[in-house]
Amino acid sequence: MKHLAVLFAGLAISAIALPAQNSTSPVPDSHRPPPGMCRIWIDGVPPTHQPAPTDCATAIRKRPLNARVVFGSETSSEGTPANAPGNQRGFVPAQPPASTFAQPQQQQQQQQQQQQQQQQQQQQQQQQQQQQQQQQQQHDAVERQRIEAQRVELQRTRDEQEKRAAHHDAPPPPAPPQHQSRERTAPPPRPRTEQAPRPPHQSFSPRRQR
């Protein structure tokens, strides 16, 4: 019984493996990619409808599940030609190598770093411009205050000079009128004349003498 089970299992495995081997068709030499390039080959599709050759990284990245990657018609490292039956099928890893994804990731990181640097530079430039504008505004304000102070000082000095000039050029005010009595001089004293003695006073009566 054990031998029969092993026999049936071997027959089942061989039945499964035969269609898989028959499904892989060889790639014609006329449709192999040039050296240094690769081609996605879909089994069961006519050669004229197969995808065009491209670089190996793109072919590996875009390979469908039902396809394989055929490398260029150059000899392998072991010295066998690339169109040998073993090399026609090619070995396609289940996952692409890490190097195929490292380059785009590195490029994206570099681009992000460059963008960040550009943004930082722009921010620094904007900050510098704002600082320069503020400094210029402060300088202008101080300059305006200084000019205004000079103008006020000059105006004050000019007004004082004009007042002094007007004071010197004006005629002296008239003297207040003095009282006439002060201006008059006392008359010279009159000479005193000696008066004759008057006769004694006689009283006359209205009576007539008899």
Rounded mean pLDDT, 44-64: 87
| CA distances, 138 to each of 128, 149, 151 (Å) | 15, 17, 20
pLDDT value of residue 80: 40
Indicate the residue type of 209.
Q
Indicate the residue type of 156.
R
Q: State how far the Cα of 111 lies from the Cα of 108, in Å rounded to an integer.
A: 5
pLDDT in tens, 17-46: 444 444 466 788 888 888 888 989 888 888
Report the percent of the chain where pLDDT is more than 70: 53
Q: CB neighbours of 39 closer than 8 A, spacing ≥ 6? A: 27, 31, 32, 33, 50, 51, 52, 53, 54, 59, 69, 70
Which of 15-29, 127-141, 188-202 is most confident?
127-141
Q: Would you kindly state where each structural domain of the chain is located, as residue ranges?
A: 29-74, 104-159
Query: What pTM value is reported for the model?
Result: 0.27
- How long is the chain? 210
Q: State how far the Cα of 37 lies from the Cα of 72, in Å rounded to an integer.
A: 5
